[in-house]
Each structure stands twice: as structure tokens, then as C-alpha cells.
Structure 1
Amino acid sequence: MNRYLAGSVVMSLLLLVYLGFAVVYASILLQDDNLIVNIMGVALLVLPLLGAWGLVAEWRFGAASSRLRALLEEQGLVPDFPRTIGGRALREEASQLFPQFQGEVEAAEEDWKAWFRLGLAYDACGDRRRGRWAIRRAIRLERIYS
């Protein structure tokens, strides 16, 4: 198990413990006779539901993106960005390579591989939000066309 997966498992377990405490406290509030306290209990139940939904969505994203990355690695298509000693991509060098990946997407907008590689390029350039968006797009395209 790599350190990123181990960290994700630990953080997920901590979140589940927190959500469990929130549900227990909400159930205590719901047993009170005061209407305002009951409303607070219902509101407190919404937070664990949202948290659980977010946790499941992130784990699904992680599993799908790992699966697609493994498929690209089998084909030797994962881009190799220059990295620091600590393993982070060098943003300036990644930015110079970025137009290549953007061009691949423009040439084949329905190719999940191009979108996934673009997502990795965005991430290497420091734009994690757009990187995740592009990888989500790759996941959707792979499900549709594969």
C-alpha cells in the first residue's frame, strides 16, 4: 500500500468516526421535547449525509482515476514531467509542455486518454482544480466509449 492510499484510508476513517459522533449527537437532540432542539437534530443529520456522499464520491473518483492511469501506464502514455528531488513536478517545465496536451484534446475531443493526459498536465502546472475536472471528463468519456 503506498503512502497516499494509507493517508487516504486514515483520513477516511477519521471522517467516519466524526460523522458517527455527529449522528449520535443528532439522535440525542431528536429525543428532546423542545421543537428548536429537534430542528437542530435534523439539521445535524444533514451534515453526516453530505460528508458520507462526499467521501464516497472522492473514493469513486480515486478508484476510477487510478484505473485509467494504470491503463495509460500499460500503454506507456503517462507523461513524464521533470520533477524536483521531493517528487513534485517543476511548474515552468510542465507549462512548456502543456500546449502539446492541450493540442491532443483539441484534435480528439472524445478521446479519454487525451483528456486524462491534459488533467495530469494541469496538475503538473499547479492547477489542480482544472486537472481534476479534465480527469473527470476522461472518466466519463471512457465509460461512454469503452
Structure 2
Amino acid sequence: MRRGLLPALAVTALLAIYVWAIAGRGVALLNTGEPVGIALGAAVLAIPLLVIWLIWREWSLAAHVQRMADELAASDELPVDDLPRSPGGRIDRAAADEAFALARTKAEAAPEDWRAWYHLAFAYDAAGDRRRARATLRHTAKLHGRAAG
């Protein structure tokens, strides 16, 4: 089993319980028949829909990233975490910045190469910019989808 799968499933299960509870409250408000209750019920039901969409979006990205990782591993191109670390396990910032600059240059030189963007996403992560790493993975997934077909 992949390392992060069990925690992701646990969080998804907790969110499913949350969605069920909130949806129940929304339906109860709709059933009051009162205009305010109906308006609040409709607003409350928007929350579970948003949560379901966000969960689907994240699981879809995770599955796509895994397919890309499997493809890169098969061709021996998967990024390797070989950056120097402190005794506490933190990545050396200067080394991460240097690796990031190299990955960014390669991605800019090949804007349609999903492999270069995949490496850039992991360079962002190593440099500590998780938000840009995730956005870059989304971009990478789009490029990979276009390349596949």
C-alpha cells in the first residue's frame, strides 16, 4: 500500500461523515416549509456539494500524479530526493534553490514537456512552496492528458 493512501482514505471518510451530517441538516431546514428555512437549507446544501467536488478534484489529481509517476519510473526518470539535509532532516535551502532553478530552466525550455513540469513541481515542493508545487502538478496533469491523447 502506498505511504499516504491510508491517511487520505481516513480524511475522506471523515469528510463523508461531515457531508452526510451537513446534508441532513440542510434537508431538515428545507422540510420546515418556512421561507427562511428553505433559503438556509439550500445554502447549507451547497456546502456538501462543494466538499464533494473538492474531494473528487484532489483524488483525481492524486490518481493522475500516480499514473505520471509510474510512467516516469518505468523510464527511470522519476525525480530522486537526493538533496542534502540537516541532521534534523530539513532540506538544505541553498541546494533546494539550486535544484529549483535548474528544474525551472528545463520547464521553461520545454513548455509542453510534462516530464519537465513534473520535475519542477517536485522542485517547488523541495523549496518549500507547496502551493506552487500543487498548481504545477495540476498544470503537469493537463499537459500529460494532452500528450496522451
TM norm structure 2: 0.90
Identity percentage of aligned residues: 33
Structure 2 letter corresponding to 1:9: L
- Alignment partners' CA distance in 2, 1:130 and 1:54: 18
Provide, for residues 82-109 of structure 1, a one-character-per-residue CA deviation record: whole Å limited to 9, x for no partner. 2647766443321121121111112211
Paired residues in the alignment total: 146
**Structure 1 position 32, deviation (Å):** 0.6
Paired position in structure 2 for 1:51? 51
Compute the RMSD of aligned alpha carbons. Answer: 1.7
The Cα shift of 1:70 comes to: 1.6
> SS in structure 2 opposite 1:24?
helix
The residue type paired with residue 133 of structure 1 is A
- Shift of residue 138 of structure 1? 1.2
Deviations 1:113-143 (A, max 9, x none): 0001000100110011111111111111111
Which shows bigger deviation, 121-130 or 73-82? 73-82
Q: Distance in 2 between matches of 1:21 and 1:37?
A: 17
Q: Is the Cα contact below 8 Å between 1:116 and 1:138 reproduced in 2? A: yes
Please name the residue that 1:79 is paired with: 79
Task: Tell me which residue corresponds to 1:93.
Answer: 95
TM-score, normalising length: structure 1: 0.91
- Quickly say closer, same or farther: Cα 1:54–1:116, change in 2 above 3 A: same
